[in-house]
Structure formats: structure tokens, C-alpha cells
Amino acid sequence: MIKPHGSEDLLPRLASAERAAALRAEAERLPSLVVSSAAAANAVMLASGYFTPLPGYMSLDEARSVADEMKLLSGLFWPVPVLNVVRASDLPEGLEIGGRLALRDPNVEGAPLLAVMKVESIDTLDDDTREHITERVYGTTDREHPGVKTFAEAGDRVLGGTVDVLGTSYFGDEFPDTFRTAGQIRDAIEKLGWQRVVAFQTRNPMHRAHEALCKMAMEAVSADGVLIHMLLGKLKPGDIPAAVRDAAIRELVDGYFPAGSVMIAGYGFDMLYAGPREALLHAVFRQNAGCTHLIVGRDHAGVGSYYGAFDAQEIFETLPAGALEIQIFAADHTAYSKKLGKVVMLRDAVDHDKSDFVFLSGTKVRDMLSAGEDLPPEFSRPEVSAILKAHYSKA
């Protein structure tokens, strides 16, 4: 099986039951901090092994190195800073470098203990540094960009250091059939005997174009199976909730994929909408989960018009040899061809013009569903359309 990123073995930061009990006892004597949703999601990703080989949150120096060179201070490739940013006014009194800190979960009622952190650095994030990191990672400093807005409002102190995480926040409880750690996915792949595995990243319900894209990629790389890997964390307002996406994806897979060819799973991360940089991070996640290939499509991990259609593919071409072991399947936009009676990639339909395809914008899809209309069968499987229509009728 493909090795984890930068390590011979997966390195999850989830404490054992015995260690967790000791940490809970210790945390009663420690200063505590309710972290941001983004920092909590980073803790869950550390716990789940997706951030292998990171031991915890980055210092500001490490974050600058990642932003500027896509390298940790050790020289290992890493595309996006993994931070715990807080407001100075929220820091517990007397917290010092070398101290221990209880991190509490903002996404669960009562803010229970999520992790214990050894604070190895406390850095001030000034406006110039924030703007620089933002520009390098997101390619824009526009506060209308949802990821930029989140980072801009996070705070002015960066706490770096190793963490021991006690759980996976709300993800395991709310999505018991879907949330999986990187180690659990690796174990499942090994049990299935899959050697070549394609990963499909999604934060949306899957329509027929996505279905066809997964099948095209599997055939192109001779994969044994596909991991449909959905983001379960926070999204921007208006995006489809995770539970609805989960139900729609399962309905699609059950009805339209060969039995035994698909693994459905989810991971606990808040979407960054960072386009090319986030596509690289998605590749790290999937390599750590044991996948050999990642589908990178049009405007992968993008939002609005901040990124070019294929920027997320082109950034992989800039990486030095050996930066990642996982390979990408670079996909064009896919749509239903009325000429051919099936979904095709636009680059493979050179004799078509726009009128030969069934295209629906996101706005049009939402308008139709909100009006109680079924989506065209060329665009969406009827079972998926029904689930989405029911969701919008309650919205």
C-alpha cells in the first residue's frame, strides 16, 4: 500500500484510552481555551492521521515557510498552514511557552475537552504577516472569500506545539456510518485487497457528471475501487448540509455503481475554499488514507471566480519530484451530451457546441429545487433529485 506522507507509518495524534484518562485528569489543573472551529477541525485531522506526519499546530515561522515555499522547516512538502489562531484577549492568564493548555471544543455543547497542547510557541500575528500568508495560501486577500474571512477574523496570536487529542469532536457521533479516520480507511482498503484506489473529494451532492467522472477515473487508472470521501465540517452559508449530502451520495452509489466498487467515508475538516493549495492538501489527506490517485477536476476546492478552471491541476505540475507519492487524475468539466446520450468530458467532445450539453448552474439547480421541481434526469439521478428537493422544501 502507498506510504503515508513523510513517514513509514501513519502518525495519528489520538490518545489511547489509558492516555486519554490521564489527560482528562491533568486538564482539570490546566488553563483552558475554547478554540475556533478551524482549530478544532485541525485537531480532529491530527487525531485522525490525515495530517501525518505533523505532531501538532505550526508556529508562525513554520506557517510562513509553508505559505512561501510549501515546505515545513524540516524541508518536507506541506501546502497549507495548520494553525491554532486565537485572540490575545482569550488567552488564559499566565500562559507561557513550555506550559500545557487544555483545548476545548466550540462545536459541542458545553465545550468539552478536545485536546491537551504543549505550548511551544506564542507568536503575534500582525496585519502585514496575516495579509502575506493569506495572499500566498488563498491567492487573494478579498474578505468576501469565505476562507479569507475566517482567517482574518480568527485572532492575533498563533499558538504552536504538539497536541494529544482525546476524540473526534461531533463527527463520530453525528456521522457514525460515514466518519472514518485515515487509519480506518487504510484498514478497509487492505481488507478489500485493493491495490489501486481513486479518491473523489466532494463537499456537494453527487450528480451524474460526478458519477461518470468517478467511473472514468477508475477505468483510466485500472483502479480496484473508488473512495468517495466527503467533507463533513463547516461550509459557507447556503451549501448543502453534510447529512443531506451523505444520504444523496449513498442513494446514488447503491443504485448506479457496481457492487463492491465504492467505499463511502467522510472526514472532519472545515472547508478552506483555497483552490489550488487546498487541492494539494486534499492529495496529502488521500495519500495518508492509502489512496493511490486523486481526481482533481475543474475548479477543485474553489469558490466564486477566485481561481482559474484548471489552476488546481496545474499547481501539481510545479511540485518537485517526490513531493507526493499519490498521483492525480486530471479531469475536464463533464456534462451530459444530448448527441451521445451519456456524460462525457468536454475535451473528448470536440464536435460539440454548448447547445449539445445539458448544463445547469448552481443557482439554477437551487432555484429549481426550491420551487419543488425535479432536476433533469440527464443532470441528476431521480433518487438524488428527490432527496435534494425534500431538503429545499424544508429550508
Catalytic residues: 203-204
300-328: b (≥16 Cβ within 10 Å) or e: bbbbeebbeebbbbebbeeeeeebbebbb
- Closest alpha carbon to 35 in 108, 81, 84: 84
Distance CA 60, CA 220 (A): 41
Peptide bond into 53 cis (omega under 30): yes
CB 203 within 8 A of CB 239: yes
All three cell numbers of 313? 491541476
CB 16 within 8 A of CB 208: no
Residues constituting the chain: 395
Distance CA 145, CA 278 (A): 14
